[in-house]
A and B are shown apart, each in its own frame.
Chain A
Amino acid sequence: DTEVTQTPKHLVMGMTNKKSLKCEQHMGHRAMYWYKQKAKKPPELMFVYSYEKLSINESVPSRFSPECPNSSLLNLHLHALQPEDSALYLCASSQELAGQIYEQYFGPGTRLTVT
């Protein structure tokens, strides 16, 4: 099973709302990632979790708050977003062993619209 699932598929929220995006994988991967993708652009890395610990934060505004409750789940909590935050949010996961680089498996994404 090489599937990463994301919910919801679509989300519309106002600038004062609080919402969460969810990601799940059951491949035993210990690295999980959040990316943001604007139309006609490549994905931009936001956060990386390694063994449930935040290892990379690419200077993302604090209105985005990641959480990794266990090795299979990754959440992205959203609060007070701006219209320019509208994008496709992609989750990915990969194996992680010392000295080895493994491919990342991506979920289908959540299409977020901020009104």
Chain B
Amino acid sequence: GDSVTQMEGPVTLSEEAFLTINCTYTATGYPSLFWYVQYPGEGLQLLLKATKADDKGSNKGFEATYRKETTSFHLEKGSVQVSDSAVYFCALSRTMDSSYKLIFGSGTRLLVRP
């Protein structure tokens, strides 16, 4: 079945460091791919998305490129801030009956130190 694999956390960085969170997926066809972020005590917020191969999603300095050849959707940011500390979920969407569902990775906790 479809699945998403994320790198284990926590990832601890100093402020202004470069961030990469790896995400790979297994799926038939061409799913849409998403990154969601969850701040402590809150729900999930959509960070960015890509709907087809070679698409690059970007938002708030974060970027991810849909790589079909490596089945990957790695999240990157050039300079992290303390406020980026959160849990990041990679997800893919699949059609199911008349609707669709999100399949999430296990999440990667990011801690940014001042």
Chain A residues with a Cβ under 8 A of chain B: 4, 6, 31, 40-43, 45, 48, 50, 55-56, 90, 92, 96, 101, 103-109
Contacts and interface: CB of A to CB of B under 8 A. Distances in A.
Interface stretch (B60-68, B76-84, B103-111): B103-111
A92 B106 CA distance: 19
Contact of B102 (A41, A104, A108, A109): A104
A56 B97 contact: yes
Nearest to B109: A40
B32 interface: yes
B99 interface: yes
Contact of A43 (B44, B51, B98, B100): B44
Given A56-B96, A109-B42, 7 more contacts: A42-B89, A42-B106, A92-B44, A106-B43, A107-B43, A108-B43, A109-B43
Contacts of A109: 42-43
B101 A50 contact: no
A50 B99 contact: yes
A90 to B, nearest CB: 5
B99 A106 contact: no
A97 to B, nearest CB: 11
B45 interface: yes
7 contacts: A40-B107, A43-B102, A48-B96, A48-B99, A56-B101, A101-B93, A103-B46
The 4 closest A-B pairs by CB, nearest first: A42-B104, A106-B43, A106-B44, A108-B43
